[in-house]
Amino acid sequence: MAPGKRSEEVWLWYTAVYEAVQEIPYGRITSYGHIAKLVGKPECPRQVGVCLKHLPSASTDSNKKDSTFHSGNVPWQRVVNAKGGISPRGPGAASQQADALRREGVEVREDAMRQYTVALADYGWFPDVLPSEAALVESSDEEEEEVALHT
């Protein structure tokens, strides 16, 4: 989504979600709720799902410029529900997500009701902060300790 089509606040939200999803390591998964927590809105897991639902597809036309964020650079398939389930979003979408995860080496099971699940204990990725922000948190903690020592 480009700025101008929606409010700046919405554009910033989508950007935060897409950037956070880009940090999920290959072959790992996390939940909508955990992405919401990492971007500072733990009460908004459904809105994370909305962002991923509206993620544009990567362009197959070499003459057309892709959006900043698209299905080719945001690993949407690595986000599942809190129980490790792949949320049904339309015809074939769940099996497409399952196939994408399997290509990354993630074991995806299908139950009798044709619901796809992944073992969070085996493939889950749940850091306290995003890796890109970890250094910022550490340096902030060090600065606080330094101030405390000198007061």
Higher pLDDT, 33 or 146: 33
pLDDT digits (tens, 9 = 90+) for 51-74: 999 998 887 777 777 678 999 999
Mean pLDDT across the stretch 8-25? 95
The token pair at 41 is 């809105």
Q: What is the pLDDT of residues 108-124, one digit of tens each?
A: 999 888 899 999 999 99
Q: Is the pLDDT of residue 107 over 90?
A: yes
Instruction: Classify residue 76 as exposed, middle or buried by CB count within 10 Å of its CB (0-12, 13-18, 19+).
Output: middle
> Residue 93 belongs to a domain with what CATH number?
1.10.10.10
**How far is it, in rounded angstroms, from Cα 34 to Cα 40?**
10
Quick one: which of 55, 92, 99, 54 has its CA closest to 73?
55
Q: How many domains does the chain have?
A: 1
In terms of residue numbers, what domain contains 17?
5-59+66-150
CA 128 – CA 131 distance, rounded (Å): 9
* pLDDT in the model for residue 146: 61
Section 76-97 average pLDDT: 91
